[in-house]
Amino acid sequence: MKPLKNKLIRLVKRPVGFPSEDTWEYDFETIDELCDGEIIIQNLYISVDPAMRGWMNEVKSYIKPIEIGDVMRAGSIGKIIYSKNKLFKEGDFVSGWGGVQKYCRTNSKSVIKIKAEINDLPKHLGSLGMTGMTAYFGILEVAKIRQGETVLVSAAAGSVGSIAGQIAKIKGCKVIGIAGGKGKCDYVKNELGFDGCIDYKNESVTRSIRRECPEGIDVFFDNVGGTILDSALIFINRNARVVVCGAISQYNSTSIVGPKNYLSLLVNRAQMIGMVVFDYKERYQHASEEIIGWIESGKLKSKEDIYFGLDNFYNVFQKLFNGNKQGKLILKV
């Protein structure tokens, strides 16, 4: 094989609070050999996710932390350019954990083949990737939504919240979103079809939930945590389900804000349930097929927010937390 010069981004220190740019370093390495069973993938698209912030912390979690000096962990879509594995051939498109780098040398255990046209590849990091799987299983299996229920979704213009809310609408629920700014709220209502949207930047969340959910909340699908979670807990109904999908308001905090209104769970015999998408990996294929059907029928919209170049990684990473994005955030290599 022809030697390849790989450009990559390594984690070089554990951040406290919001990561500074020197949390990572750019590096280069030469890939000039391939062992039996291995493949080399040219990464085409890299997923940029809020979970990245948690992976940098040296704490117990659902997945081990990134080691100092390792390539920054990230989901990816790529094309196989060299193969010594009988299960894969050159030209195959695959998804996996390719990391923030141009090329990835790996084995068949860490990737799966995908069937897609080149223009559809980003969807396999969004609505047909971990984002879509999280929304699908979170709203259907964990929240166990029922037709006619009122569902409140935080970070409703984001990658997971936007899909979770649309699925709830497909299943016959009343869906209210929470998002930041008029533009995002208009997008949630007018393009995604939510029944209403609360602008947490410009109005009282507590008063607005009372206005938008006069009969209370049956399901709160939470991606934010903090004060927004506290406001939602005030209005949950009996036997409500609060799905803790994420807590982006807390990821960079040095002092975690827990829910003050948690006794509402007791009074209403409600549940607060954490979910991790990896628990459902055996059922991803079924979920993908159903989501594809919704997209093709026009019932579900998939939005990818794509930026270009590994050199732009830090600027794109910041968009996760400054709100300057809509839909699934992706870096094109």
CATH number at residue 224: 3.40.50.720
Task: Tell me: do 198 and 152 sit in the same domain.
Answer: yes
Q: What is the domain count for the chain?
A: 2
Tell me if 171 is assigned to some domain. yes
Neighbours of 274 (CB within 10 A): 11
CATH of residue 45:
3.90.180.10
Per-residue pLDDT of the chain (333 residues; tens, 9 = 90+): 889 999 999 999 999 999 999 999 999 999 988 999 999 999 999 999 999 999 999 888 888 999 999 999 999 999 999 999 999 999 999 999 999 999 999 987 779 999 877 778 999 999 999 999 999 999 999 999 999 999 999 999 999 999 999 999 999 999 999 999 999 999 999 999 999 999 999 999 999 999 999 999 999 999 999 999 999 999 999 999 999 999 988 888 877 778 899 999 999 999 999 999 999 999 999 999 999 999 999 999 999 999 999 999 999 999 999 888 888 999 999
Tell me if 68 is assigned to some domain. yes
Task: Tell me: do 227 and 243 sit in the same domain.
Answer: yes
pLDDT of 110: 79
Task: Tell me: do 214 and 160 sit in the same domain.
Answer: yes
Query: Last residue of a domain, which of 278, 295, 321?
Result: 278
Task: Tell me: do 160 and 67 sit in the same domain.
Answer: no
Tell me if 284 is assigned to some domain. no
Task: Tell me: do 52 and 79 sit in the same domain.
Answer: yes
Tell me if 44 is assigned to some domain. yes
Task: Tell me: do 212 and 90 sit in the same domain.
Answer: no
186, with CB counted inside 10 A (0-12, 13-18, 19+), is middle
Residues ≥6 apart with Cβ < 8 Å to 289? none
Task: Tell me: do 70 and 135 sit in the same domain.
Answer: no
Task: Tell me: do 317 and 246 sit in the same domain.
Answer: no
pLDDT of 152: 98
pLDDT of 107: 87
Task: Tell me: do 60 and 112 sit in the same domain.
Answer: yes
Q: Are 188 and 162 in contact (CB under 8 A)?
A: yes
Residue with tokens 């607005």: 208
pLDDT of 1: 83
Model confidence, pTM: 0.92
Task: Tell me: do 255 and 158 sit in the same domain.
Answer: yes
Task: Tell me: do 61 and 137 sit in the same domain.
Answer: no
Task: Tell me: do 232 and 148 sit in the same domain.
Answer: yes
Tell me if 150 is assigned to some domain. yes
Tell me if 289 is assigned to some domain. no
Please state, in angstroms and rounded to a whole number, the distance separating the CA atoms of residues 193 and 326.
Answer: 15
Secondary structure class of 158 (helix, strand, coil): strand
Tell me if 159 is assigned to some domain. yes
Please state, in angstroms and rounded to a whole number, the distance separating the CA atoms of residues 34 and 331.
Answer: 27
Residue with tokens 């984002």: 131
pLDDT of 257: 78
Please state, in angstroms and rounded to a whole number, the distance separating the CA atoms of residues 45 and 60.
Answer: 29
Tell me if 26 is assigned to some domain. yes
Q: Which domain holds residue 79?
A: 4-126+303-332
pLDDT of 333: 95
